[in-house]
Structure 1
Amino acid sequence: MNNNKLFAANVLASSVLALGTMAGGAFAADECGSVTIAEMNWASASLLANVDAIILEEGYGCDVDIISGDTTPTFTSMNEKGEPDLAPELWVNAVREPLAKAVEEGRMVSALEGPITGLGEGWWVTKKFKEDHPEIDTVEKMLAHPELVPYIEDESKGAFMGCPAGWGCQLANANMFRAFDMEEKGWVLVDPGSAAGLDGSIAKAVNRDEPWFGYYWAPTAVIGKYDLQMLPFEADWAGTENWDGCMVKSVDECADPQPSSWTDSVVHSVVTAQFAEENAVTMGYLENRVFPGDEMNAMLVYMNENQATGEDAAFEFLATKEDIWTQWVPEEIAEKVKDAL
């Protein structure tokens, strides 16, 4: 089993066990007190935090306070200080081992694995390319045809768009490039230079109906706006030792990278154990709250095009997507939220 999947299964099993030990009076609780929610500093997490805040406050009567957060500092504060109460979108790969320990030792609880569908990093092509070449349905098939994505400076080679220098994904893409012998197959690893350069290369290709092949991640406004299509890998994930011990390190530290699928992006909605014990009713909401990836991408496009904050987007989502969020809560809670909008 993929180590990330095994970790996720262990965290969820430990969380269920932890909640099971909280039976009795805690599960009879029907009042929600003060709740602090971490609003991470990227768009999807900001939207999710604000959706949670509105539903918990207007639907469940919680007294909600949103605080700024980021993956490692938020986890550390929850683990060591028991605050904030909730991290709606915690990307686990950066804190995998300490989170597993915190759950096992009863300080934290995973309320939900995968609060957004379609999360992840990988290699993508444009929608038009996918439509024009339905036979190219895996990364490995793409790699056999560099002529389909000609490099502007040498059209005898194919262009693979990697990450800007200094980004963590730059190392992984460079080592994946070597692992799949892409240079020998006729590919050039292109450095976009910056985030704007990466996004601009996608916009240019889509607007001109030109092919594009490279790295990106979801959920993002770019994926939503340009409808990029992720290509799956035929190769299995080659394990933790290959990925953590080689792929994410510098070329000098990764002498023999092995072909591998991209490592799974594991994301959880995480709460403190105290919150889980004292808020069984609201835990039911968090356990049900799964944001469809295509809707999240669309909301990120809305935020980008309207310069909307996470709070702005949360109200827009709740006002226009009742068919989605009303499935997360009982009818009487949904009515309270709708009345407050």
Structure 2
Amino acid sequence: MLGLFVLASCETDEGNKVILGEASWASSIFHNRVAGFILENGFDVTVETQPTETAVMIATLPNGDIDISLELWSDNVPTYGDDIAAGNYVELSTNYDDNTQGLYVPGYLQDNYADFGLSAPITKVSDLTKAEVVALFEDPNDASKGVIYGGPSSWSATAFLEKKMELPEYGLDVYNFEMINSSAALAAQIAGAFESNDPIVSYYWEPTSLMGLYDLRLLEDSPYSPEDFAVGRGAFPTVDVNVVSRPGFTEDFPEVSTFFSNYKTSSALTNQGLGYMEENEATAEEAAIWFLQQNDAWLQTVLSDNPGVYEKVKAALDAM
């Protein structure tokens, strides 16, 4: 098992320790465990995780309290471009940039559309206005309309979808927009539909454990633009989720920095790990080990500049 949680008071070689900033969300924790296993078993460095949130992370990176963030959501940092230009922290790679959100339907509904009485699969938001589709998504509390499920009213995504529902060009006034009061309740609503093989159209996002468990497919919309987004039109934007380091880290840890520069995943890979955690009630450490055992080609790629390190990590995984 990983020894990632090293107390600051423990005796350790400070020159051989890497501190990973860890946000509260599951994907941040998961990626830290994946990287941590590689660092400890391949590079022989001690790994410490420092609980933090985005605002604190960007404030502590410049002074070296944190060495690395594996998930800095760049669009959530208004000063990101200026910070990089000023050398407050260094962008090493983009972990993933395909983090979509929007309206989703089950994969079985697209693949087996005829079994649900449809003449064609539902692949676009514009398909939702077809009479046969509205009838399929009938609101159990209002038979005159269909129902689209969304998140809590406080979410900015919900506000965006409310605007979309009101745009005449979308024709979504044939639906009620039911806001679910928590992310857990929204996930339960979707999971319940999957367990019963029922039709559902709902807002969701990725990467998440739910996406790792179920085949949810995003409905196409017009491409994102800031102007359209302001009025509820088009797709949600994706965000570059970057790996960044404190200033001087690449000089202090050149080989480790090469690994982080190659650290690139995707929402699909992240969903895979998060889904394993959920389905198997596994810890993030257990999910990281499983992920690395299942994705040897990815491991070879991120360690392509460190072949000796790959062999050490592979040996550690084989010994599990």
Same fold by TM-score, threshold 0.5 exceeded?
yes
Partner residue, 2:124? 138
Q: Residue deviations 1:189-219, cap 9 Å, x none? A: 0112222321121112112221111111111
Please state if 1:99 is matched with 2:80: yes
Q: Structure 1 residues 261 and 292 mapped into 2: Cα distance closer, same or farther (>3 Å)? A: closer
CA contact (8 A) 2:250 2:257 kept: yes
Give the conservation status (yes or no) of the 8 Å contact 2:98–2:238. Answer: no
Q: 1:117 & 1:143 partners in 2: Cα distance?
A: 30
Cα pair distance change 1:180/1:132, threshold 3 Å: farther
1:225-283 deviation line (CA, Å, top 9, x unaligned): 111011121x23231x564xx4xxxxxxxxxx252221222211111221133323222
Q: What is the match of residue 21 of structure 1?
A: none
In 1, the alpha carbon distance for the partners of 2:172 and 2:291 equals 48
- What is the Cα deviation at residue 339 of structure 1? 2.9
Q: Counterpart in 2 of 1:14? A: none
1:62 to 45, 65, 76: 45
- Would you say 1:332 and 2:308 are equivalent positions? yes
| C-alpha displacement of 1:69 | 2.1
Distance 1:175 1:277, change over 3 A: farther
**Structure 2 residue 171 is the aligned partner of structure 1 residue 151:** no
Letter of the 2:83 counterpart: A
- Please tell me the root mean square deviation across aligned C-alpha atoms, in Å: 2.2
CA distance in 1, matches of 2:59, 2:110: 42
Deviating more after overlay: 170-179 vs 260-269: 170-179
Distance between the aligned counterparts of 1:320 and 1:118, measured in 2?
21
- Contact 2:165 / 2:173 at 8 angstroms: preserved in 1? no
- Structure 1 residue aligned with 2:256: 282
Distance in 2 separating the partners of 1:73 and 1:331: 35
The alpha-carbon distance between structure 1 residues 286 and 227, as it changes in their structure 2 partners (threshold 3 A), is same
Aligned to 1:129: 109
Q: What whole-Å deviation, never above 9, does each CA across 1:140-171 have from its counterpart, x for those lacking one?
A: 22344423321111233121111123333222
Match of 1:232 in 2: 220
**Residue type matched to 1:216 in 2?**
Y
How many pairs does the alignment contain?
293
Is the partner of 2:79 in helix, strand or coil? Answer: helix
Tell me the equivalent position of 1:315. Answer: 289
Are 1:116 and 2:96 counterparts? yes
Percent identity over paired residues: 25
Decide whether aligned partners of structure 1 residues 182 and 259 sit closer, same or farther in structure 2, where only a CA change above 3 A counts.
same
The alpha carbon displacement at 1:179 in A equals 3.4
The whole-number CA distance in structure 1 between the counterparts of 2:195 and 2:244 is 40
Q: One-letter code of the match for 1:334?
A: Y
Out of 176, 192, 195, which is 1:188 matched to? 176
Letter in 1 for 2:105: V
Deviating above 4 A after TM superposition, structure 1's stretches of 4 or more consecutive aligned residues are 180-184
Residue among 12, 37, 46 paired with 2:20: 37
Deviation, 1:135, is: 4.0
Q: Distance in 1 between matches of 2:197 and 2:248?
A: 53
Cα separation, 2, equivalents of 1:238 and 1:143: 23
In the alignment, is the contact (CA less than 8 A) between 2:97 and 2:239 conserved in 1?
Answer: no
Query: Could you say what secondary structure the match of 2:282 adopts?
Result: coil
Structure 1 distance, partners of 2:225, 2:164, is: 11
- TM-score after normalising by structure 1: 0.78
Is the 1:82–1:272 contact (alpha carbons within 8 Å) kept by the matching residues of 2?
A: yes
Q: Which amino acid aligns with 1:157?
A: K
Partner of 2:164: 176
In the superposition, the TM-score normalised over structure 2's length comes to 0.83
